[in-house]
Amino acid sequence: MSDGEADPLGEIGLGAGQSPLVSVVVVNFNGGELTRECLACLRRQTYPNREIIVVDNGSSDGSVDLVRQAFPEARLVALTENRGFAGGCNAGIRAATEQLIATINNDAFAEPTWLEEMVRVALRDPRVGMVASKLLLAHRPTTIDAAGVCLDRVGIAWDRNNGLADNPAETDQELFGPCAAAALYARRLFDDVDGFDESFFCYLEDVDLAWRARLAGWRCVYAPRARALHRHSATAGENSRFKRYQLGRNKVWMIAKNYPSPAIWLYLPFILAYDLTGLLIAILVNGGSPADRLAGLAGRAAGLVTLPSVIARRREEVRPRRLTGGQALSVLDPPRWPWLLLRQRARLRKVAAPVKPSS
């Protein structure tokens, strides 16, 4: 962008201000005790100008009554059905009216300065529409669960620094996007790119949102002093059949919706090669029944079956793309060598804790 060219995001970012009100959205589905702990942590936040919005996805475990009785200060949005993390977040965002919106999983427990640190980073630049915080594994609090999210040019998304030792000396830096399990967004970003894609239901919905936002010119900054403990996959279960299916399907949709053209035709052979190799390894290594092992393949098949409608929607949608083709490709990481991917998978299996899904 030239010096004389107006910045299209200059008037719609977070901007500067004195302690703007932040709406914190918590999505719950049959996770009452997790939500109790999450809300107790939010109650202890040092940032004073906040409201808490709890979206219940049609729970049957008494979560609604728990929130009403134990946390009367929280605004409750009680849905009649489970709309997933994406749909639940969108319902909370619609209920909020403020300039800043934070999202946090009900299985994430924020340190007292979590919100304050994210707001501090957000107010520096109106082009910053996303702030990533640091998630630490609840069962290994010196180990990082996610420090933002990354996406490479062969369509592989991962939680940045997952499984690595925490480094307290980290400084603020620009990233591809935040992990929505604990993040801060500009309300105007959601208005600009139409919020989370509810068809994703859950998993990769935050990567899809970050990709659309980056294509529209928004920035993401990592605030390492904004910290929360995370019980990874406490709701769906790590490596569950449901999770494998969702990841497989949503990966197909995410690439088809967002990959810049014509670069996708150059990278498509590599995308297919990496994905097929990763899928084969997952089938051979992951445990469970045959149906469990093949859930990722079933998800990809479902994504491919619906691919024509996804592509048609991409052509019909009028979405802001403020980056040139080369700039759009530059927001993605370069492909990594296959053995580095294998090493990362091994590290994730090593640090993962067995978590019982909520019913």
pLDDT of 271 reads 96
Task: Tell me which DSSP letter residue 335 carries.
Answer: P
For 75, the token pair is 């605004």
* Residue 158 CB contacts under 8 Å (≥ 6 apart), including other chains: 149, 150, 344
Whether the pLDDT of residue 224 is over 80: the answer is: yes
Length of the chain (residues)? 359
The model's confidence at residue 237, banded by pLDDT at 50, 70 and 90, is low
Count up the domains in the chain and report the number.
Answer: 1
Q: Find the mean pLDDT for residues 14-22.
A: 68
131-177 residue pLDDT tens: 999 999 999 999 999 999 999 999 999 999 999 999 999 999 999 99
The answer to the question of residue 164 being in a domain is yes
- Domain containing 123: what range? 20-359
Whether the pLDDT of residue 4 is over 50: the answer is: no
pLDDT of 251 reads 97
pLDDT of 82 reads 97
What three-state secondary structure class fits 297?
helix
Whether the Cβ atoms of residue 178 and residue 206 lie closer than 8 Å to each other: yes
Whether the Cβ atoms of residue 52 and residue 71 lie closer than 8 Å to each other: yes
pLDDT of 353 reads 57
Higher pLDDT, 145 or 325: 145
Whether the pLDDT of residue 117 is over 90: the answer is: yes
pLDDT of 240 reads 86
pLDDT of 1 reads 39
The answer to the question of residue 6 being in a domain is no
The answer to the question of residue 168 being in a domain is yes
Alpha-carbon gap, residue 95 to 14, rounded angstroms: 19
State the pairing for strand pair 22-28/219-230.
unpaired
The answer to the question of residue 315 being in a domain is yes
Residue matched to tokens 């052509």: 315
The model's confidence at residue 7, banded by pLDDT at 50, 70 and 90, is very low
pLDDT of 238 reads 63
For 276, the token pair is 């097929």
The answer to the question of residue 11 being in a domain is no
| pTM of the model as a whole | 0.90
CATH no. for residue 110? 3.90.550.10
Task: Find the helix or strand (DSSP H, E) in which 251 lies.
Answer: helix 241-258
